[in-house]
Structure 1
Amino acid sequence: DAVADLRGDAARPAGPRGPGTSGPRPDGDGLRVGIMVHGSAELTPAILRAFRRARPSTPVTVVSLDFTEHVAALVERRVDVAFLRPPPDDERIVYDAMTTEPRIITVPERSPLADAPALRLADIVDQPFLGLPDGVSRAFRDYLYFAGGRNGEPPRLSPEGVRTPQDVLTGTAAGRGLSSGLYSFVRFYSWPGVRFVPLLDAPWEHSVLAARRDDTRPAVRAFRSLAVALARDLGPALVPPPRLPSPDGR
């Protein structure tokens, strides 16, 4: 089947390719793929490679998305599909789960929390977190600050607004606050002065591939179908399982 035919291609390393390097985009024929943070981990480049092989005549443009574009990039039609976390809470958007992962906390290495093998929500809800700028979706704010584990209490926030993973890493290293992410974050990012600590009792969260509900173009449908098939059939082989301490390992 199509997934079996693409298995070897999806597993091969990708050559260098940046935003817009796939050539001009004819009206209605190209596909703009947004990627927030590292997308859906190792699945993201595998899906892009497989789609380019399956539909070589469809130009693909890759667009990096910051935290303010969690929903906006799609609804404002700046991208056609997007790898996001968490799932958008917007009736204009549909999505398919790509990965399901535990959560991590970014901690300044001088913090008393930095040497813990793992943390729990009770350890971090009273700690200051890095703030977000205006325009970030409610779903993303709730995800970043673990709103479901705060009993309605707002987080303590630093004044600056972080927009990108680099902002998170530099803000954490400077000791201005904690932040959070998916477990796979640690495989794609590192920074001097920052520790990544697993959070044992936070609900696991999805990374997703999202699209506009009203966008039924063939290229969008094909990309979504291929992504779902690869996530199902290749995800367990491509995405390493998390290594978490036992609940009593502290």
Structure 2
Amino acid sequence: MELRHFRYFLAVAQEGNVTRAAEKLGIGQPPLSQQILALEREMGVQLFRRTGHGVTLTESGQALFADAKRLLDDADNAVLNAQRAGRGETGHIHLGFTASSAFNPAVPALIRAFRNAYPGVGLSLVEGNTAQLLNFLEEGRLDLAFLRPGLHAFNGISLYRISDERMKIVLPLKHALAKRKSVALSALANESFVLIPRAASPTLHDEIVSACRAAGFEPKLGQQAPQLSSVVSLVSAEFGISIVPASVSQIRAEGVVYVDISGASVRTRLALAARENDDSAKTANFFNMAKQMRVERSDTSIEENEDKTPE
């Protein structure tokens, strides 16, 4: 017994006439009659009562009608669901992000656009530092992650550059440099820096330290903060100064100012990461949308990607 037998049965039942059902199905009337007889023999019941004008359903046929229709609807839905999954229109994405990446306008814009374009795909968000997110990707606990890889490449991981974002200096409001529009990094040589611990955010930490070294000094590491919002709060409390991605200036804490860095282009790289062997259509859709989107913000610079990305 095959699904086509139920399609034949339903066509005859709905038309009430074998000839008309055959025309609807695009087959000959004799083969259709033979298929109906074969179905009745296999089931061991009479499904149709033959009349001079066509056929009507017997009690057995009436009992089969609703179940056969539901069975065929389920089969059609199964095919449709498989096709939608193959196009990446259903399923679930586990998406990681670093605390600093969440402030970049490209990230919420991309998530919002993806949800609007693929409402059938669920999204779960997981926050972590770059090292944690890379481990989660390798373990299969995440499908994608927004992270700050610096200039590093990682085995088995594909990276797509979302933006190269300017960095800013965050100062206490009463600091001697707070009224300047821009400050050279070398002017911070004697300052105490409030930074996220390297273990929590190795890339961002190293980028800040490297920028200071390029300006000719080793930063004095003072109070540590678990995340960027805490960095800003501690600067407000005058524990020191810091350097943060420009998008963090959205945190409008009292008692701080954000100042441009003069004399040097200090940037931090934001990328979208996935496993190289991930052949999921929904992941590919997210990557493709990231490629298509160009978020224009005064505090970010979106550049063309030159990294290896999944097909």
SS of the equivalent of 2:175 reads: coil
- Name the amino acid aligned to 1:142: D
Determine what percentage of the aligned residue pairs are the same residue: 24
SS of the equivalent of 1:101 reads: strand
Which of 188, 213, 222 is the matching residue for 1:124?
188
Q: Do structure 1's residue 140 and structure 2's residue 204 form an aligned pair?
A: yes
- Name the amino acid aligned to 1:193: G
Q: Do structure 1's residue 240 and structure 2's residue 298 form an aligned pair?
A: yes
Which of 217, 239, 248 is the matching residue for 1:185?
248
CA RMSD of aligned residues (A): 2.6
| Aligned residue pairs, count | 204
Contact 1:38 1:185 in 2 (8 A): no
SS of the equivalent of 1:122 reads: helix
Matches of 1:230 and 1:40, distance apart in 2: 17
Q: Deviations over 1:60-89 (max 9, x none)?
A: 012333xxx123123234432222335462
Q: Do structure 1's residue 32 and structure 2's residue 83 form an aligned pair?
A: no
Matches of 2:101 and 2:198, distance apart in 1: 22
Contact 1:71 1:88 in 2 (8 A): no
Cα gap change, 1:120 to 1:214, in 2 (>3 Å): farther
Any residues of structure 2 matched to 1:208-223 within 5 Å, and which?
Answer: 208-223=271-286
- Name the amino acid aligned to 2:247: S
Tell me what 2:260 maps to.
198
Structure 1's unaligned 5+ residue stretches are 1-27, 243-250
Q: TM-score, normalised by structure 1?
A: 0.71
Structure 2's unaligned 5+ residue stretches are 1-89, 301-311
Q: Deviations over 1:89-132 (max 9, x none)?
A: 24133322222332201111121121111011211243211143
Runs of 4+ in 1 over 6 A off after TM superposition: none
Tell me what 1:83 maps to.
146
Contact 2:171 2:259 in 1 (8 A): yes
Q: Do structure 1's residue 95 and structure 2's residue 159 form an aligned pair?
A: yes
Cα gap change, 1:71 to 1:194, in 2 (>3 Å): same
Cα gap change, 1:85 to 1:179, in 2 (>3 Å): farther
Matches of 1:212 and 1:185, distance apart in 2: 28
Is the radius of gyration larger for structure 1 or structure 2? 2
Matches of 2:175 and 2:290, distance apart in 1: 40
Contact 1:39 1:207 in 2 (8 A): no
Q: Deviations over 1:175-212 (max 9, x none)?
A: 112221222222x2110111101112233333222223
Contact 1:119 1:197 in 2 (8 A): yes
